[in-house]
Structure 1
Amino acid sequence: MVKQTLLSLDIVQNVAADVDQYEERPQVHRCLGCHPPLADSVLRRVRSGDLFFSMEFFPPRTKAGAANLLSRFDRVKAGGALFCAITWHPACDPGGYSETSSMTIAGSAFNYCGLETMLHIAATNLTKQEALRHLRRAKHMGVRSILALRGDITPDYKPPVDGFIHAVDLVRLIRSNFGSYFTIAVGGYPAGHPEAISYEHDLQYLKEKVEAGADFVITQLFFEAHQFITFVRDCRKIGITVPIVPGILPIQSFSSLRQIVKMSQLEVPESITKAIEPIKDNDEAVQNLGIHLAVEIVKSVLDAKSAPGFHFFTLNRENGPAEICKRVGVWQSSPSRPLPWRLGDNHRRCHEQVRPIFWASRPRAYVHRTQHWDDFPNGRWGKHDSPAFGDLSDYYLFYLKSEIPPEQLRAMWLNRLESEKDVWHVFHSYVAQTPNKQGVNVSHLPWNDSELNEETIPLVKQLIDLNSRGILTINSQPNVNGTPSSDPVVGWGSPDGYVYQKAYLEFFARPEVIKALLEEVKNFPSVHYHIVDKTGEKSYTNTFKNVPIAVTWGVFPGREIIQPTVVDPVSFNVWKDEAFALWREQWGRLYNPESQSRRVLSEIENSYFLVNLVDNEFPRPCCLWSLLDKTLNESKIKLEK
């Protein structure tokens, strides 16, 4: 029904726990050729002239901040960023296992947000063995891009025994131990490094880093375009030929500007100081000025043909950089979809082409539960008999600690539930996109972590009717018959094909409704169903045993038919545990264990059935609505009797 955008802190916690155990796991063969390294992607953009952008974030100090940051990654991914970068914070155990470490945040951004991720590693205070350990962990998580830095030092700094003196030493260590596995970026300084003997000497040091194996350069921030343009020209003169990406800092507030200037030891041009002084206490005005100045820098650099793209220092606020990207035309408003579900950049999943539809609204749970598969379905789901999904013992799989506080969730899902009709009302408010009885908009449900997407809009009238009558819908898709793959709502894949969908509906319903449905569906031979209770002891289907049903497919010139979404009986039984547990672990946790609200939810969890319906007659108008209307009418009569 919807696509997931709100993030779970528990996802971050899981990455921290997962990487802690990686050295004990057997290493499987991994294809490195399907998803190109970042270095190749950058070079391809350089040759084609296709402008790109990237954004840099730092690990937050709190667990809640980590969940909030991951939601920002979602927006950056949707905007079409080539990659994001995660800074290395020595004071916060960057290579550790906590939810807020650099390593954990990078792994979460890459594996759960599907965003190409570059991990900063600062050599300061690291021994070579420590650096190798961090690099092996990054490789295990699938991260293939490193920004190799020396890091900040104090005047009395002494490197540890077997440590690093310069960033070039870290570059050499990476290349000598990992070959071409990692894309390596290094820092460049348009005004020269503050500690350099001279600007010319610093250029030679940059050349040394490139010759040691760096693939491209990301520069320190600068305030005037001519600095970067001159820097690029001087680099080319001495034989530095790799791409050079300008680092842009949109000024977001007066205080942040002072802090950045202090850390970078850069001078702010007088023209900028004079412009900010009258508005320094108005953060919104300063931010607008910062966006304007950054846009002017970007345009000047583009006019000089000096950069293939831009790297933005976001200070963990992507709104300003996003606005700049929109103004220069590189932010994607409608990004193309290679598959109906988001395809991540982890090369371990590069052949993955098929997923069960049940996790359409919870893709990160699916990614987690399948992360240790040695192989992924790449043609037909049936090639993987009884796939070994991850265990549900880790409660994070179904309990999303989103950035929304519990009191706001209770306001959406009602502070007190008197009966199951109150639950019906919440579902109704969600699909109708109207306020609940407390006057609060229901923006998501435990099974649907965002508002209705465009694909669902044509079904809203029918969904409203069903939810008001006790059919509690959690997933759906309309039937589609040969729509161009370029369609902005249901399209996916290359733009020269056609896509198809069978109408699909998934919902919870009372036992009386199920009894009537099993009778009524006999009159609808085109409909296949799976029905199961919480325990799995009561289960009904009219499909062939363990045979998946393709519910989405595409036809493209010169290719086999692609069927990326299926209804699979084996995985449905795995999904049902997760789906039923959400009643308790996400919604139920909001109330006192002895409360009436908790009893209402427990009764639904233990008595309702989970149902999925597939209408195989996709060229014809969907018959599911007629089937369920007749079912509800029949069950109502029986209940009255």
Structure 2
Amino acid sequence: MKITNKLLDSHKEENAPATFSFEFFTPKTSQGLQNLYDRMDRMYDLNPLFIDITWNAGGRLSTLTTEMVQTTSTVLGLETCMHLTCTNMKTDLIDQALKSAYESGCQNILALRGDPPLDGSESTGDFKYAKDLIRYIRKHYGDHFCIGVAAYPEGHPEESDPVKTLNYLKEKQDAGADFIVTQMFYDTENFINWCDECRQIGITMPIIPGIMPISTYAAFVRRAGWSEIAIPKHFNEALEPIKDDDAKVREVGTKLVIDMCQQLLDSKRVNHLHFYTMNLEKSTLMILQGLNLVTKQQLHDMKQPWRKSLNPNRSKETVRPIFWKNRKFSYISRTANWDEFPNGRWGDSRSPAFASVESCESELIRHSPKKALELWGTPNSLKDLAELTIRYINGELSCLPWSDGQISSEIEPTKKQILDIVKHGILTINSQPSVNGLKSSDNVFGWGPKNGYVYQKQYLEFLIPSTVVSSLIERINEINKGTDSNILSFYATDKDGQLITNTQDSDIIAVTWGCFPGTEVIQPTIVERISFLAWKDELFSILDKWLSIFKHEKATQASDFLSSLCDSFTLVTVVDNDYVKSPNTRIFELFQDIDLLAWTA
């Protein structure tokens, strides 16, 4: 969606709260990129109106920028604005960047001239000014893109005449620009006066102020110097005496920026704030909390109980297998080339559309070997791996090899039972508690249109020794005995794909659904045979990838243990079809008297 449209929609009501957005820059390392994606994923929950991603410094082409835009739009579901500079950029490179943005569903471009060549020479690109780039985009893409431009409330370092600088900004609007994002500043009074000057000469575009949080004194002074902006006297008086205490500088600096932002909003010149995050999280979050702009309400348009992709190629996607609940990156990789949703492989096992696990090789473990060792160490036994899982469930670990993100509050209804079976050596991979008719506005389980009701079947996915599987199935059969249909449905397979199940080949089990006014029942997550086997391939490939790290590090004991796990354990998924029972502990009762840690001690 276009940023200008989002601004209009968000501020229809007179007293609507201010909105905000975040800027991120391209990291220099692959691990830095993964860390940034995780940070973006967390900051999604703050409900930014959009994010933007910078182009590479100095005008050099950065394919990473377009790759990141593709990921943030398609995987993370974040409305994204792509920076695009034209200094030293040939037309074919501009075309490639615009085409990539268009295909990823990105509708917003921040058109910039960019920094001039460092040696003082003239740009060798096909465009001299940002207005030339704007005209080019409009010529070839019409109104598809919402185009933003940069502005300088305290003047441009290359132009001493403020009148000319304002006129140049007006020329960008006349060329087809839609909105303004300003350079950082701290002088609120000057900014307000500058906004009025913009309006006086006919600049009607929304003005979005660029806000730079203060983290350390050195960075504060350095950035102000780079941008050639004035530091108000009261900023210096507050920060200079404590400049050697980083924690104090951040605390006081945050209060100063909060006051500055509040003055901007009170002036009624702006209703949106754009934060230069510097790829950090805490300082920006502190400012938003101080402005009371962060709430616990479910503000995102959750049409399904999974993150909506903004890529137009996935617009018809309405069904996903639940196994990838915590693996959105690899799921998107494996389904990237599908041309049919929801009737792809996962939704209908008769479709020939299918991607092998090799298609998500880079997503198997999204961390470098060094980072993986820092996170998870070298588990040498089932007990070690169980303790690692317990730490994750308790929120002490941010991820596991098979779970990209932190544990969610959805686990709370069954957390005690899950911890209990993990303490006895049952390695849980994924789970979901039962839900019977909660409001679709529920902060934890809610999704879909307003005034609806949502439902879930309880399910549990876990790894157990293959030697225990027959005993487990006997217990499942005992529970199912005498029922018209199975209360508990299950799938079990080892690494080689030897499948045992009490379901039919064509069975597709809806495990999440909702009922909403004026629409049919929506069933967005499922369990079925083909997708389970495909997920099995991925899970054991994750373990193999993890194993390769141990082998490379010559961690012999950990390597031997994980090899044994891959060879002798079975992946099992159990669904309890009785979603009405409350409290529902039926699945966990299957593990009574099973203590794998005692067996392996």
User: What's the CA shift for 1:626?
Assistant: 5.8
SS at match of 2:193: helix
Cα distance change on mapping 1:430 and 1:291 into 2, 3 Å: closer
CA contact (8 A) 1:86 1:120 kept: yes
SS at match of 2:503: coil
Q: 1:361 — aligned with what?
A: 326
Distance 1:589 1:421, change over 3 A: same
Structure 2 residue identity aligned to 1:365: S
Is 2:59–2:114's contact at 8 Å kept on the other side of the alignment? Answer: no
* Cα pair distance change 1:228/1:569, threshold 3 Å: same
CA distance in 1 between counterparts of 2:560 and 2:52 reads 46
Q: In 2, Cα distance between the equivalents of 1:380 and 1:623?
A: 32
Q: Is the 8 Å Cα contact of residues 490 and 572 (structure 2) preserved in structure 1? A: yes
Q: Could you report, residue by residue, the CA deviation over 1:248-282 in whole angstroms, capped at 9, with x for unpaired residues?
A: 11222222223322322222233322332212222
Equivalent-residue separation in structure 2 for 1:348 and 1:460 (angstroms): 37
Q: Does 1:471 align with 2:471?
A: no
Contact persistence 2:319–2:347 (CA under 8 A): no
Give the alignment partner of residue 159 of structure 1, picking from 117, 123, 133: 123
Q: Distance in 1 between the 2:555 and 2:244 partners?
A: 50
Query: Which residue identity does 2:524 align to in structure 1?
Result: P
Q: Deviation of residue 623 (structure 1)?
A: 5.5
Question: In the alignment, is the contact (CA less than 8 A) between 2:460 and 2:587 conserved in 1?
Answer: no
Shift of residue 551, structure 1, vs aligned partner: 0.3
- Asked if structure 2 preserves the Cα contact closer than 8 Å seen for 1:216 and 1:244, the reply is yes
Residue of structure 2 equivalent to 1:71: 38
Superposition pairs of residues 228-267 of structure 1, within 5 angstroms: 228-267=191-230
Residue segments in structure 1 that go unaligned for 5+ positions in a row? 1-35, 435-440
Paired residues of 1:521 and 1:627 also in contact (CA < 8 A):
no
Pick from 376, 400, 408 the counterpart of residue 366 of structure 2.
400
Opposite residue 366 of structure 1, the aligned amino acid is Y
**2:62: which partner in 1?**
95
What is the distance in 1 between the residues matched to 2:428 and 2:586?
Answer: 13
CA contact (8 A) 2:461 2:571 kept: yes
Q: Which has the higher contact order (CA 8 A, sep 6+)?
A: 1
Q: Which of residues 553, 564, 583 is equivalent to 2:513?
A: 553
Deviations along 1:163-217, whole A, 9 cap, x unmatched? Answer: 2221100101111111122221001222232333522222222122112111111
Secondary structure of the 1:311 match is: strand
- Classify 1:469/1:268 alpha carbon distance in 2 versus 1 (closer, same or farther; 3 Å): closer
How far apart, in 2, do the equivalents of 1:626 and 1:86 lie?
A: 45
Aligned length: 586
Equivalent residue in structure 2 for 1:124, among 87, 108, 119: 87
- Quick check: 518-527 or 622-631, which moved more? 622-631
- The match for 2:560 among 592, 595, 599 is 599
Maintained 8 Å contact 1:386/1:570: no
Q: Distance in 1 between matches of 2:461 and 2:220?
A: 51
Separation in 1, partners of 2:228, 2:397: 48
Length-normalised TM-score, structure 2: 0.90
Match in the other structure for 1:311:
274
Which of 73, 76, 79 aligns to 1:113? It is 76
Which of residues 528, 540, 553 is equivalent to 1:580? 540
Distance 1:132 1:626, change over 3 A: closer
Given candidates 285, 290, 295, the residue that maps to 1:327 is 290
Report which stretch shifted further, 172-181 or 449-458: 449-458
Aligned residue for 1:473, secondary structure, equals strand
> CA shift at 1:73, angstroms?
1.0
Q: 1:44 is matched with which residue?
A: 9
Q: Secondary structure at the match of 2:241?
A: helix
Partner of 1:27: none
**Are 1:615 and 2:576 an aligned pair?**
yes
Query: Distance in 2 between the 1:473 and 1:453 partners?
Result: 15
Alignment of 1:203-218 (within 5 A): 203-218=166-181
* CA shift digits 1:399-444 (9 cap, x unpaired): 2216972442344x53xx1x4454445445544x39xxxxxx5554
**Counterpart of 2:28?**
61
Separation (CA, whole Å) in 2 of partners of 1:150 and 1:514: 64
Q: Percent identity?
A: 37
Match of 1:506 in 2: 461
**Which residue identity lines up with residue 361 of structure 1 in the other structure?**
N
Deviations 1:449-496 (A, max 9, x none): 444322212212322332233432111111111111222222222342
1:30 corresponds to: none
| Structure 1 position 594, deviation (Å) | 7.5
Aligned equivalent of 2:131:
168
- State the one-letter code of the partner of 1:555: C
Tell me which of 53, 62, 68 is aligned to 1:86. 53
Contact 2:104–2:312 (CA under 8 A) maintained in structure 1 = no
Distance 1:576 1:39, change over 3 A: same
* Aligned counterpart in structure 2 of residue 480 of structure 1, from 430, 435, 449: 435
**CA shift digits 1:353-380 (9 cap, x unpaired):** 2110001111111011112211321899
Could you tell me how far apart the structure 1 residues matched to 2:539 and 2:240 are? 55
**Contact 2:298–2:441, Cα closer than 8 Å, also in 1:** no
* Number of the residue aligned with 1:390: 355
Instruction: Quickly say closer, same or farther: Cα 1:279–1:185, change in 2 above 3 A.
Output: same
Letter paired with 1:532: T
> Does the 8 A contact of 2:24 with 2:51 survive in 1?
yes
CA distance in 2, matches of 1:292, 1:242: 30
Equivalent residue for 2:591, pick from 616, 625, 629? 629
User: 1:446-457 alignment to 2 at 5 Å?
Assistant: 446-457=401-412
Work out the CA distance in 2 between the residues paired with 1:92 and 1:164.
12
> What is the CA distance between 1:504 and its match in structure 2?
0.5
Q: CA separation in 2, counterparts of 1:315 and 1:427? A: 32
Match of 1:19 in 2: none
Q: Is the 8 A contact 1:530 1:569 kept in 2?
A: yes
**Cα displacement string for residues 88-139 of structure 1 (whole angstroms, at most 9, x for unaligned residues):** 223584423xxxx333333333333322221111111112232222222222
Distance 2:503 2:199 in 1: 66
- Which residue in 2 is equivalent to 1:9? none
| Aligned residues: CA RMSD | 2.8
8 A Cα contact 1:251 1:257, kept in partner: yes
Gapped runs of 5+ residues in structure 2?
Answer: 481-485
In the alignment, is the contact (CA less than 8 A) between 2:472 and 2:590 conserved in 1? Answer: yes
Of residues 268-277 and 576-585 in structure 1, the stretch that sits farther from structure 2 once superposed is: 268-277
Contact 1:478 1:502 in 2 (8 A): yes
